[in-house]
Structure 1
Amino acid sequence: MITLNRRCGLSQVILLICASLVSSETWDAGHNEVLNRTSRQAQVLDYSQQFQACLSGPSAVRGHCRYAQACVLSEFKQDPKKALDYVCIIEQKYVGICCPDNFRGPIEKWNWNSQDALAICNGERSISTVSQLAQGFAKVVDQAQPRKLPGEPVDNKILAPPLFESNICGRNGKQAGRINQGKPSEANDWPWTVALKRPYERDNFCGGVLINERWVLTAAHCILFNGLKKVTDLIVRLGEYDFSKTNETQFIDIPAMAVRAFPRFSEQNYEHDIALVKLSKKVVYNAFVRPVCLPQPGEFYEDSTAIVTGWGTLSYGGEKSDILMEVPIPVWKLADCRKQFSQNIFDTNLCAGGYKGGQDSCQADSGGPLLFQRSNKQWTIIGVVSWGINCGLTPGVYVQVNNYLKWIYNNAKDVTG
């Protein structure tokens, strides 16, 4: 897990990205040494390197995370703050740029001054007064960024816009370390897990997760291939726990108002299998209905333990569970996952499941959440259940949510109407 815990706010770091690769070490009394050491490191890095695949910028085009010097886009020179839309993390150490694969610009080289950088970071100097920052950046921004106090969160500007309730999301009192086997959950354990239903059926056909008071995140194939004739026939059930009972959680059914699949979803290979459902009215949060947190950009989850929840079948071809289940599963290295399949596993996927089989998400869990608990005990959705082969025989394939954050923000910000 990556925590950019610096006195310098993330927005300032991105404005400084043209001048340096900033280490993720904690800023403390040794500010200058960290800055100077980072400068020395930058002199020996191979700027032509490409790292993990990502979706670049507001248009979500294919790209790879690269050192900032290798991807100074023209829009950054016009407005440095646009770099915020492209941030990624390199090797869990450096702030980088998610660079479009079709970018062919030169590698920019410059000198910089640690005292100048620290002055900007502390809010004591505006970028326009700094002489040694990259050309094209210094002349654009003519005012200092707001100063952040020590210990203040650095990532809210990108990761917790007003539509995502960062203070209440992902809280359920459960600890990941105590979930050691697949089992029925308790009634209010996973208040963000929702069921997608047809109006004439008792059970769900897909799952999803509530991300704010008006929007649900799910899989694209769940909203495109559900057999329903109109959007309003799609029913989102919130607060459900046991489909065989009607009084244990006071669930609520809300018809969908709109659906939005990721525009480059492929029905042939299920690439970009992610979608949003807008509810026809706002939900009121309670003990059984609450949003999950969204992940941070650039995080890696390989070799971590995640939790998948849903009402899927308990075995391949078996009966569905009436009760919401929870299953702890390890997240695989993508290279190891690809060895298990003849089908394409994309860089935007996650794979998770028991290494010896037997633990996996199953049929009817499509669109449901793969969850990871952060160090602050809040749960975040890191994956959306997409597809798999049988159940538990190979890892399940998920869409990695933090590759789609900009698209989610742009499309789920309307909580009115």
Structure 2
Amino acid sequence: MKKLITALKRAAAAGAAALAIISLQPLSSAQAAPAPVVGGTRAAQGEFPFMVRLSMGCGGALYTQQIVLTAAHCVSGSGANTSITATAGVVDLQSTSGRVQVRSTRVLQAPGYNGTGKDWALIKLAQPINLPTLKIATTTQYNTGDFTVAGWGSAREGGAQQRYMLKATVPFISDATCKAYGGYYSGLVAGEEICAGFASGGVDTCQGDSGGPMFRKDNAGAYIQVGIVSWGDGCARANAPGVYSEVSTFASAIASAASTL
């Protein structure tokens, strides 16, 4: 689900999630509906082994082999929860070759989350998934340049969730530029949210992509997560970029929360 308010929180409504870059937070302040990466191309099998698809229609990434990092708006609260199924190991959700599916045991939603900012959550799995994890940024060093987004969300605003993982590249947008787009963007929570996309639109995350990672290469050439798909005003519209939770801001809180699961 990606917040789409007309902005959608990029989580899929009624359990469907997509990665078309639309909005990353609910369609209204109450619903979330993300889509697959809009303007993206199909990811290769094994290209992003840390990617996870969640059964409520969101994305996520393996923070550890037994904990998934996703968006707060994708879950309903904290506590015991065995209702979520995490799928990993495949780009084709219908493939059974290499596919791993594990149920959740607990969920921890960001403390103080109220729909604005702090859009992160952790899901503990019943058993580890033997796949590479995605490290998270602990400083703002990598909050610039070009980022990769990926997911199974809608490939167009209002479209269906995707069978195959799509990927796309989006550039960093400064807080000042993002806020200047006005409308929902004037309420950007600087320091907690980071924007990325093209002024002309055309490439974005969308409904169903909520909770998925925005990442780039670090100085050693390894992937590092800098954002979490959160919301946007529609998907891939001009002057309406995707908004992502700024992971480095919450790195310490995420690590502390993970140690309690």
Which TM-score band applies after superposition, normalised by the shorter structure?
0.7 to 0.9
2:244 paired residue number:
398
| Alignment match of 1:222 (pick from 74, 95, 98) | 74
| Alignment match of 2:82 (pick from 225, 232, 256) | 232
1:364 paired residue number:
208
Q: Indicate yes or no: 2:113 matched with 1:265.
A: yes
Aligned residue for 1:306, secondary structure, equals strand
The alpha-carbon deviation at position 274 of structure 1 amounts to 0.7
2:104 paired residue number:
256
Deviations 1:335-354 (A, max 9, x none): 10011242210011010112
Question: TM-score, length-normalised on structure 2?
Answer: 0.79
Tell me, in whole angstroms, the C-alpha distance in 2 between the residues paired with 1:274 and 1:319.
Answer: 24
Report the structure, 1 or 2, having the larger strand content. Answer: 2
The alpha-carbon deviation at position 300 of structure 1 amounts to 5.1
Greater relative contact order structure (CA < 8 Å, 6+ sep): 2
The alpha-carbon deviation at position 320 of structure 1 amounts to 2.3
Tell me, in whole angstroms, the C-alpha distance in 2 between the residues paired with 1:375 and 1:339.
Answer: 31
Amino acid of the residue matched to residue 351 of structure 1? Answer: C
Deviations 1:382-411 (A, max 9, x none): 000001111111100100000011111112
Deviations 1:116-142 (A, max 9, x none): xxxxxxxxxxxxxxxxxxxxxxxxxxx
CA separation of 1:341 and 1:251: change in aligned 2, threshold 3 A? farther
Structure 2 gaps, min length 5: 1-38
1:375 paired residue number:
219
Q: Contact 2:138 / 2:249 at 8 angstroms: preserved in 1?
A: no
Comparing 327-336 with 291-300, greater Cα deviation is found at 291-300
The alpha-carbon deviation at position 195 of structure 1 amounts to 0.5
| Alignment match of 2:172 (pick from 331, 336, 346) | 331
Q: Contact 2:110 / 2:121 at 8 angstroms: preserved in 1?
A: yes
Aligned residue for 1:211, secondary structure, equals strand
Tell me, in whole angstroms, the C-alpha distance in 2 between the residues paired with 1:244 and 1:413.
Answer: 33
Amino acid of the residue matched to residue 196 of structure 1? Answer: L
Aligned residue for 1:254, secondary structure, equals strand
Larger Rg over CA atoms: 1
| Alignment match of 2:129 (pick from 255, 267, 283) | 283
Count of paired positions: 217
Q: Contact 1:195 / 1:240 at 8 angstroms: preserved in 2?
A: no
State the identity %: 28
2:254 paired residue number:
408
2:137 paired residue number:
295
The alpha-carbon deviation at position 306 of structure 1 amounts to 0.2
Tell me, in whole angstroms, the C-alpha distance in 2 between the residues paired with 1:314 and 1:297.
Answer: 32
Deviations 1:262-313 (A, max 9, x none): 111113xx321111111111222xxxx21011113242523x1000010111
Q: Indicate yes or no: 2:170 matched with 1:307.
A: no
Report the structure, 1 or 2, having the larger helix content. Answer: 1
Tell me, in whole angstroms, the C-alpha distance in 2 between the residues paired with 1:237 and 1:274.
Answer: 19
Question: TM-score, length-normalised on structure 1?
Answer: 0.50
Aligned residue for 1:365, secondary structure, equals coil
1:211 paired residue number:
63
Deviations 1:9-41 (A, max 9, x none): xxxxxxxxxxxxxxxxxxxxxxxxxxxxxxxxx
Q: Indicate yes or no: 2:181 matched with 1:340.
A: yes
Tell me, in whole angstroms, the C-alpha distance in 2 between the residues paired with 1:353 and 1:212.
Answer: 28
Deviations 1:53-87 (A, max 9, x none): xxxxxxxxxxxxxxxxxxxxxxxxxxxxxxxxxxx
Runs of 4+ in 1 over 4 A off after TM superposition: none
CA separation of 1:312 and 1:359: change in aligned 2, threshold 3 A? same
Structure 1 gaps, min length 5: 1-180, 199-204
